[in-house]
Chain A
Amino acid sequence: MSDRRAALSETTLVDQLLADQQMLTAVEQFSALHERGHVKERYSALLPASPLSTGEQYAFEVNLDACTGCKACVVACHSLNGLDDNESFRDVGLLVGSGYQQTVTTACHHCEDPACANGCPVCAYEKDATTGIVKHLDDQCIGCQYCMLKCPYEVPKWNERLGIVRKCDMCAQRLAVGESPACVQACPTSAIRIVKRRTGVSPVANSSALLPDTFDSSYTLPTTSYVNRRVMPEDARAADRDVVRVQPTHWPLVMMLVLTQLSVGLLVASVWHPSLLISAVVCLHAGLGVSVLHLGRPMGAWRFFLGLRRSWMSREILAFSVLAGLAMASLLFVPVWITAMVGLVAVFTSAMIYIDTRRSWWSAPRTLVSFFGTVVKLGASGAAAMTGDAVCTALALTSGAVLWFVEPHLQRGAMTSLRIVHERLASEAKAKRVCALMAMGYQSLVLMMPSLAFVLGPVAFVCSLAACVGERVIFFKAVDAPKMPGGVTR
């Protein structure tokens, strides 16, 4: 009996303690603070004292001597801006050298000539005429991620949940009421501040790089200034310079590029073999269809023409839209050679998208050879497979052989990190070479024994297609992605 009473009273205690645990007492016991919502002195420190004059813009200035790597700026940006779980618009990296280390805080450089804005097909970036802030319009963004390829500082950040990129806007809403950006107000050592900066007149800063291992500033004219009194040694380098960073494959883009280039090749062949036109049109629409999968928010893509003045992405969409229409019309009345010419222009715009990022792996010679090489090689082997045409087979074999020898030469001069990436991608590269070799083998057999054309031609085509897909996968995965110095990451 007494046991039961004890058990009863204990139950009561547990329940009482559990209930007590769920009571929030901070407000009841301690009067909540009721200061009015004025902007405090701390929040307005480290901002310029006088108005902007013409030819000036706001910019971040980082005092490297004061930056000691606490990374409060990264987390304050996250917390005070209500960003997603692992999202922040600021990063902290590291430079190392002989007996030297220097942490580097970095966010958007609000460039004078922002590559992100120049590349955006739908004008989702605005450079504010007064303040110079490069602002991203989240609702305008279609999630094509081209800005991420264009920016050499890894500033636009992909948001999987929303299907768009987001980026630093220098906390423009805060600045508008005289409050410092989150990172500025959170830095314990006041290493970050907002300064006025004259635009277009600092060739020294603009022609070199912001820091060791960062991209040539002449590309975008970044406005952030890194100042220091402590001497940076000659051998200072980004701590993550040699970290192997294999880039995303972008499968929709891989398939889009291969299919549209195959299609343009077939269109050219259709000038001589009109029967190929239907397959060309099918490939084209398949390629364009799959490209939509790359967009985070495809419903806004109809605005693509807004960027025509600056964006190769806009021009590509225009070129392929025209091409899609012409290709259909070719089935009825438009001469095929006109469509084929437009197709070649469209492939050129595809190539320019990548060339315009100024990444060394996507140099003009490599990209043009690769893309037009695909047009010739796949177009010819496709035409050969479907028509059994010996000229097409010979062309496919020749172009395959030329590319086989030319491609390695175009890889020379790539950076160390690229070479390491290529080691990492050795199996992909090997598979690609094997496929190309098999295609050439079958094509040689067809030339020697034309009667086998309708059996071995398609096999050769499939091998060529696989080789081109492999080549395009490596095109994306192996690219050098310039960025600000990072820290130890793994």
Chain B
Amino acid sequence: MSGGASRSVVPGFSPSVLASAPASKTVGHLSGDGLKPETTLRSLLFRHTGPLTEQLKREQGLFGVGQVPSPLKPTAVTNMVCGFCATGCSLKVHLRDGEAVNLSANENYPVNLGMACPKGWEALTPLDAPDRGTTPLLNGKPVCWNTASQTFVQRMKAIIAEHGPESVAVLSTGQIVTEEMAFLGAFAKFGMGIRHLDSNTRQCMATAATAYKQSFGFDAPPFTYADFEESDVLVFIGANPCIAHPIMWQRVMMNKRSPKIVVVDPRRTETAMAATHHYAIQPKSDLTLLYGLANLVIERDAVDREFIARSTNGYDEFVAFVKAFDMERVSRETGISVAQLHEFADLIASKKRVSFWWTMGVNQGHESTRTAQAIINLALMTGNIGKPGTGANSITGQCNAMGSRLFANATSLIGGYDPAKPEHRAKVAGILGMEEALIHPELGLAYDQIMERVADGRIKALWVLATNTSHSWIDSEAANRALEKLEFLCVQDMYPTTDTAKRAHLYLPAAGWGEKEGTFINAERRIGIVKKVKRAPGQALSDFNILRLLANAWGCEDWFAKWSSPESVFELLKQLSAGQPCDITGIEGYEMIESVSGVQWPLPKDEAGMMKGERRLFEDGRFFHADGRAKFLFDEPRAMPEMPSAEYPMVLLTGRGTSAQWHTNTRTEKSAILRKLYPAHCYIELHPEDAAALSVTDQQRVCVSSRRATIQCTAVLTSTVQRGQCFMPMHYEEVNKLTFAAFDSHSRQPSYKACAVRVAAGDPVRCG
């Protein structure tokens, strides 16, 4: 970098004009040089400097951070990956005496190129919240860690002894580092002998994982972020990156190829506004639309026959299947005109670089796996995969959902293995130095099945880590009634004040992001580093340290002798990955990840020397099924599980509200500046004509009822929602009281995106 040369003073500015003119007068005055009466008078009358001015003084920081507030000028800086979403931005943390005081965005990281969203800018603030947990709490009373760990062990062992290992379950998260997820999965399943462990990644990425696994033979998002910049046609389906992934949208805006940007979304979102084409389909008609488009692409003969023949299975059956999706039917079911359908198909059939991107609008549906696979099918049939600017690309949600998918020991045997296969069990047991018999040949239950068993009393003890089931689980009032039945609920979280932690019998105070070490894997499979730059409050311990403590109290510390630090666990994970599609044996250790700005998997040992900065999968047209071919998978679309009716005539859509809110808002509500960026109270977006029919005006209080519950909120009138539809952001605890518990049969992911509701002008006191 020849950055030194770019110290060009902006024309018209000289520091003497702006910054130091008054100061120099003061100096002159103080030193007595050329003391003139008018100078004295002027400095008496006009106070250009002083204690208040000093408060906003900025000075040049070292380490390439530009100017910084003087009191927060760093003595060192260090880079680490953000702990909110799966974009995986690198943040440059400003340190004084080794402790974080501020941060800025890292301009040398290939993900974010010096940018961050509001959550990233405020990532340190939630750590300083006054309601952080500082000590374990037993029935709300502070206890020491010994009591806490012994209580945990005694209660869990007693329940297992009385009701069997299936009476205990774990709900984990996509928000902790991979090493902790692996430790948790190994301790819970191999150490404690628990059968059922699932995590909140079931709520966001299970569909993408399942779809990839079935279609490609491994859970393998194929893209790299450079594809945003190298694409000619970007198709966003059920995705609002402007709000949910602003830094990915930055990469779209950096695309120099004048791309066509297509958004498929019932709402006219910020992304739809910024797109070149917006198709406002009816809710949950995406599968029909995608099959119709496939039919049109086939009609145009715009398929890549050579790629299909060489790299796929099931194409002919797929062609026969989509014939039934004629234009009248597709137009009728999606609400998109025939002309628009042809226009859309022309874009996909353009033989240019077409990339498909999806997120929760697809993943959170009642037939979501087939919908994701319908997107994959379009990419496969047009040969838009494995090349720059292409792909069927799932944009991941949480910062470490990808780590969870590979190493949490939940949806696969740790490392992406199949526990049903004896050779896989043997390999994992061998690497971990455990008895093979400890590995159960079946995967455990999914989140919804666990909740079902909690509700019917078969599961009596639940251990919840870094997730907020009470707020986030679909049909939350039913979920909370179920949680009430538990004999033992242990919640491990940064805050004892989350809706779920407040219900806990035992609360364990966890250190947060920035207070511990480990790695995250982002949406483009890039492994990045998290560091310890703040001291955890009170007796809060990292999840890793809590697990060490509990393993010790359980009496299985000998099995985890090798699991002494996050980096030693990373070594184990490397060994587990050997020979897998996610092989990372080429990574030497944390220092290498740091020095090369993150590593995308795979990186086998023999290819480590040839590593490129941005890599995509399937460049050779070989997939991970045994025969190296991808599969065309499809099913007849089904109507949405809860259709609007006379009594509940509107469809409620849910989703992200603003870029300043994260999930159940437990962390983002801790920052005063972020709180300024979103409405404090729950609201519902209504079309002005629907509102007029209901005699509801803008900003009025309304009652929203579903078959599950009735809640109150503020009406916001906007024609970005279609008539007959309404939208509520998921960050408010009320919203999931309304949602209808339906699940995709393949991925078991909840269908948050559509349920039937009724809106009425509300009695300000209570909703009748």
Contacts and interface: CB of A to CB of B under 8 A. Distances in A.
The judgment on whether A and B are partners is yes
Interface of A: 7, 10-11, 13-14, 17-18, 20-27, 29-30, 32-44, 47-52, 58, 65-66, 68-72, 74-76, 78-83, 85-88, 92, 96-103, 123, 128, 130-131, 133, 137-141, 162, 164, 166, 171-179, 185-190, 230, 239, 242-244, 300, 303, 306, 487-490
A2 B480 CA distance: 42
Nearest to A102: B273
A411 to B, nearest CB: 22
A137 B676 contact: no
Contact of A80 (B46, B49, B60, B68): B68
B612 interface: no
A25 B532 contact: yes
Given A26-B533, A86-B676, 14 more contacts: A21-B536, A32-B78, A35-B64, A44-B8, A47-B10, A70-B118, A70-B242, A99-B719, A100-B720, A128-B18, A139-B52, A172-B18, A176-B10, A186-B116
B242 A69 contact: yes
Given A37-B60, A101-B720, A242-B699, A178 B47 contact: no
A176 B15 contact: yes
Contacts of A98: 719
Contacts of B12: 51-52, 58, 130-131
Contact of A137 (B46, B72, B679): B46
Interface centre among B17, B46, B105, B122 (most CB of A within 10 A): B46
B146 A40 contact: no
In terms of DSSP, what is the predominant structure of the interface of chain B?
A: mixed
Nearest to A235: B719
Given A10-B552, A39-B6, A40-B66, A32 B95 contact: yes
A30 B591 contact: yes
A170 to B, nearest CB: 10
B63 interface: yes
A71 to B, nearest CB: 5
Given A39-B7, A177-B9, A166 B56 contact: yes
B541 interface: yes
B64 A489 contact: no
Given A23-B532, A66-B253, A173-B67, A488 B683 contact: yes
Interface string B24-55: 00000000000000000000011111111101
Given A102-B273, A178-B6, A24 B548 contact: no
B531 A25 contact: yes
Contacts of A171: 58, 67
A82 B659 CA distance: 22
A75 B122 contact: yes
Given A13-B549, A92-B677, A303-B45, A178 B533 contact: no
A19 to B, nearest CB: 10
7 contacts: A32-B76, A33-B79, A36-B64, A38-B7, A65-B274, A70-B243, A139-B50
B95 A26 contact: yes
Interface in B602-634: none
Contact of B681 (A79, A100, A490): A490
Contacts of A37: 60-65
B501 to A, nearest CB: 20
Interface centre among B52, B78, B539 (most CB of A within 10 A): B52
Contact of B511 (A21, A26, A35, A36): A21
Interface residues of B, number: 124
Contact of B48 (A41, A83, A100, A139): A139
A489 B657 CA distance: 12
A9 B11 CA distance: 68
B68 A130 contact: no
Given A85-B673, A137-B48, A173-B67, A189 B60 contact: no
Contact of B63 (A33, A48, A50, A82): A33
A407 to B, nearest CB: 28
B453 interface: no
A35 B679 contact: no
B347 interface: no
B672 interface: yes
A26 B93 contact: yes
B271 interface: yes
B308 interface: no
A179 B58 CA distance: 12
A146 B181 CA distance: 56
A194 B9 CA distance: 14
A370 to B, nearest CB: 29
Nearest to A94: B718
Given A65-B274, A85-B672, A174-B58, A70 B63 contact: no
Contacts of A27: 76, 78, 95, 98
B11 A48 contact: yes
B637 interface: no
Given A40-B6, A101-B273, A177 B60 contact: yes
Contacts of B533: 24, 26
A188 B51 CA distance: 34
Contacts of A86: 672-673, 675-676
A138 B50 contact: yes
B143 interface: no
A103 B66 contact: no
